[in-house]
Structure 1
């Protein structure tokens, strides 16, 4: 047997009863918050904390379950809180179930897929009340709660590690942004300045958009404004290039980099500019610089933001000597590998820890169901 099986034998030798959620919690509706004063009490909506108020709706540990919007976005709260009408809160019978145990189990049942409406995703109390929750050793409440507490302890250890890594990543990102801004800050008289059109060769004329229905599937990445959108059979570029978003809301929101390098055989549609540079250092230097500055003065259109070719090529870039560019790129590459790369560094470590947590969570919370019982 696996260590998880051993744990279940040790802590859960007796039967498991699947109880209705409605028999172990009372689901409550949230209320409007606009009349509340400011304070330190978190006000939750389906997307998370909206503000802090001076009054609470409930002050005991609770699992918050979205009623509208992001249905799978659960929250465990163990401080006084207020909820608005887009999210339910639960009054939990802690003589039957450990609140944190309930939270962990509910993250496994796929609430995000249980939409009860045709428009905005919605959930109802009647459906939630019928969810079946495994309660080990139901005839021995003391033992049952001890088993639940042990499961919570193990899963808390995984989530604490992920939280530590995430906090470190956020600190590293701040450090990276600080050094990037320091390295890429130049006064007008310190270095020569050139337009992007003078530094790069624009290959936009070679782009070819293909509608999704006409793309032939393959293993060649097909790029759009914010990265890979598909994989196709053929390619139009082969080499190292810098893509810069031409249109889309991300030009203003900047949720993802608007400049990113590509290599090898690729296909690019007409939503990303294609720039070619003579050296790696030149390309990466411009990539780092474009992602560090405000491009609003070069963007046209409010409803449909656009960075056209003329404006792109007019962007002024500080142009230090080659060795200085190489030094700047080498320094930022090290920070980038640690804080931004999804293939290595902290993001990769966090991804692996999250998968490990989900694996053990599903094993710990997987109990055999009686043949007559079928979970909702």
Structure 2
């Protein structure tokens, strides 16, 4: 019979207290007095809540330095080149054999933790992680990605992660077989998220292709103001301090994306957001667009619009191929006023082609939304599972399938 991993867990993983009843606590956790010259890695709930033995990071991992490789020295190839924040290009020769884990070493920004299945090169702003023989590499990846690195940086002008600071942490170390099962469980969630991302990209490509095909059958030009409704009066800007004072789960949108989360929604519908000031135009001259749905708070840096005599989805596709450079204003900060945006001409299909397109777009965008929603829920599940699995408060066991 094939074996499959089963998570032994309480009925709700989002409960305030995740009690574990289906497996006894793993014996062998180190007492506080044994954590000499270091402390337990953050985010695991404290030593008393970790059920696995704790071992010092310097005994588990070797951090190998990368090697500088400026862009002008790179040769065409498929070998990924990694820096502190992820892949920075490609080269024809690897420095390390894959699979591998790359962790950021220095820089004022976020220090990343990245996985690669391929042979790879690491430049001098990152480390290549080499685990001990009794540490599964994928388990190490999830462990470090969850714990993070930024809190370990030292310095001001160009803060760095030293080997000493990294090595002073204590990490939970389950048996190798359970490490593998934990990694497989989390990887299964990430694999589904990746599959959803591919489906989302394909859905958008299909929608654009359907739109272009419909235009080939005849077009008319209509101004944005004639085919859309603006909801700008409902927008309310909040300062960062105001947002911090009202934390919640509602995304707070600006010109280019989500800038935080708040406790209340101003909108709860499908909308197209068009950047109003700041970053308002793409390199190809098109507007900065967002297609959003569900509860949202929108500030005054993005126009909020819906389709009036066409669907919001068709409006999004028409705006996506528009050139807004002629209507931009502002010498210091680019701006697209509502009046100017309303004057932009959009190419639209006509007659039966328009009706057929609208019918075809509805299921495509429904799939687009459902996959993004599913991935958001999967991320919440994964992020709730991570500290519980890594600490041993939840156990993964083998279940024989019929």
What TM-score do you get using the length of structure 1 for normalisation?
0.72
Asked whether the equivalents of residues 313 and 365 of structure 2 are also in contact (C-alpha less than 8 Å), the reply is: no
Mapped to 1, the partners of 2:234 and 2:131 lie a distance apart of 58
Equivalent residue for 2:357?
328
Partner SS, residue 68 of structure 1: coil
Asked whether the equivalents of residues 181 and 292 of structure 1 are also in contact (C-alpha less than 8 Å), the reply is: no
Q: CA deviation at 1:90?
A: 1.9
Equivalent residue for 1:45?
83
Q: How many residues align?
A: 347
Q: 1:73 and 1:302, CA in 2 relative to 1: closer, same or farther beyond 3 A?
A: farther
Q: CA deviation at 1:111?
A: 2.5
Structure 2: runs of 5 or more not aligned: 1-6, 10-19, 30-51, 394-402
Mapped to 2, the partners of 1:224 and 1:166 lie a distance apart of 23
Mapped to 2, the partners of 1:134 and 1:232 lie a distance apart of 35
Q: 1:7 and 1:244, CA in 2 relative to 1: closer, same or farther beyond 3 A?
A: same
The answer to whether the aligner puts 1:21 opposite 2:57 as a matched pair is yes
Mapped to 1, the partners of 2:193 and 2:329 lie a distance apart of 41
Q: 1:73 aligns with which of 102, 109, 112?
A: 112
Structure 1: runs of 5 or more not aligned: 137-143, 369-376
Asked whether the equivalents of residues 44 and 87 of structure 1 are also in contact (C-alpha less than 8 Å), the reply is: yes
Equivalent residue for 2:32?
none
* Larger deviation, residues 159-168 vs 317-326: 317-326
Equivalent residue for 2:181?
150
Equivalent residue for 1:33?
69
Partner SS, residue 53 of structure 2: strand
Asked whether the equivalents of residues 65 and 71 of structure 1 are also in contact (C-alpha less than 8 Å), the reply is: no
Mapped to 2, the partners of 1:149 and 1:303 lie a distance apart of 54
Higher RCO (CA 8 Å, separation ≥ 6 residues): 2
Mapped to 2, the partners of 1:261 and 1:83 lie a distance apart of 37
Partner SS, residue 90 of structure 2: strand
Partner SS, residue 194 of structure 2: helix
Q: Deviations over 1:315-345 (max 9, x none)?
A: 2223555776454334323322221x3xxx1
RMSD of aligned Cα (Å) = 4.5
Asked whether the equivalents of residues 222 and 232 of structure 1 are also in contact (C-alpha less than 8 Å), the reply is: no
Mapped to 2, the partners of 1:44 and 1:67 lie a distance apart of 11
Asked whether the equivalents of residues 43 and 52 of structure 1 are also in contact (C-alpha less than 8 Å), the reply is: yes
Q: Which has the larger radius of gyration?
A: 1
The answer to whether the aligner puts 1:106 opposite 2:140 as a matched pair is no
Mapped to 1, the partners of 2:117 and 2:296 lie a distance apart of 52
Q: 1:86 and 1:155, CA in 2 relative to 1: closer, same or farther beyond 3 A?
A: same
Correspondences of 1:182-221 after superposition (within 5 Å) = 182-183=213-214, 185=215, 190-197=218-225, 212=239
Asked whether the equivalents of residues 256 and 279 of structure 2 are also in contact (C-alpha less than 8 Å), the reply is: no
Mapped to 2, the partners of 1:60 and 1:8 lie a distance apart of 35
The answer to whether the aligner puts 1:291 opposite 2:320 as a matched pair is yes
Partner SS, residue 282 of structure 2: helix
What TM-score do you get using the length of structure 2 for normalisation?
0.68
The answer to whether the aligner puts 1:258 opposite 2:271 as a matched pair is no
Partner SS, residue 63 of structure 1: strand
Equivalent residue for 2:8?
3
Partner SS, residue 193 of structure 1: strand
Partner SS, residue 129 of structure 2: strand
Asked whether the equivalents of residues 63 and 130 of structure 2 are also in contact (C-alpha less than 8 Å), the reply is: yes
Asked whether the equivalents of residues 240 and 263 of structure 1 are also in contact (C-alpha less than 8 Å), the reply is: yes
